[in-house]
Amino acid sequence: MTPRVSKRLLTYVFLAGPLFAGSAPAAPLQRWLAVSNTASSITGDVQFGPTSIIFANRAALKLTPAGSAEGRTWADSMQNQAVQLYKIEGAQNSRLLNGNYLCGSKTHPTFLSVLEHGNDIYLTVFSGNGVPTVKDYASRICAGFSYALK
């Protein structure tokens, strides 16, 4: 093999490596500034992406997109808006700012809904099993937070 062919082969292997490794580049995280009193005192500013949310104290939750739905939010004025749903993977209930938890120390969060309205973001946290439905979502809300897109 000539040096030229060897160099070209190395270039192809380097460029194609991620394709064969099965890993896609990570989606960039959005930065959200805590706006509501609950967000300021419990989560602080967060970083959000389709597979994780990272809180101000660096605690993180692993997420899986679970589709979209209408109205699954704590913000009454936004009930007719589409939200994105995310399943929280595992039985995570991390301690956040000031010793707080998303839904309290004994309630495990299972789903999140995210509603973006301009630069305003409404994060709703649910407990319970299965994707929140029109019939049960209100009784499953365990927390609601407001942020602004940074």
For the stretch 18-56, pLDDT in tens is 444 444 556 688 999 999 999 999 999 999 999 999 999
pLDDT surpassing 90 at residue 125: yes
**pTM for the structure as a whole:** 0.77
pLDDT at position 25 is 53
Nearest to 149 by CA among 109, 118, 115, 111: 118
Query: What percent of the chain has a predicted confidence (pLDDT) above 70?
Result: 75
Q: What is the spatial distance between Cα 130 and Cα 103, in angstroms, rounded to a whole number?
A: 17
- The residues near 63 (Cβ < 8 Å, ≥ 6 apart) are 50, 51, 52, 53, 86, 87, 88, 89, 112
Q: What are the contacts of 53-60 at 24+ separation with CB within 8 A?
A: 53/112, 54/29, 55/94, 55/96, 55/97, 56/96, 56/97, 57/95, 57/96, 57/97, 59/94, 59/95, 59/96, 60/94
Q: Which domains does the chain have, with CATH numbers?
A: 26-149 (2.40.128)
In the three-class reduction of DSSP (H, G, I as helix; E, B as strand; rest coil), residue 116 is classed as: strand
Nearest to 115 by CA among 61, 76, 59: 76
Q: What's the pLDDT band for 145 if we cut at 50, 70, 90?
A: very high
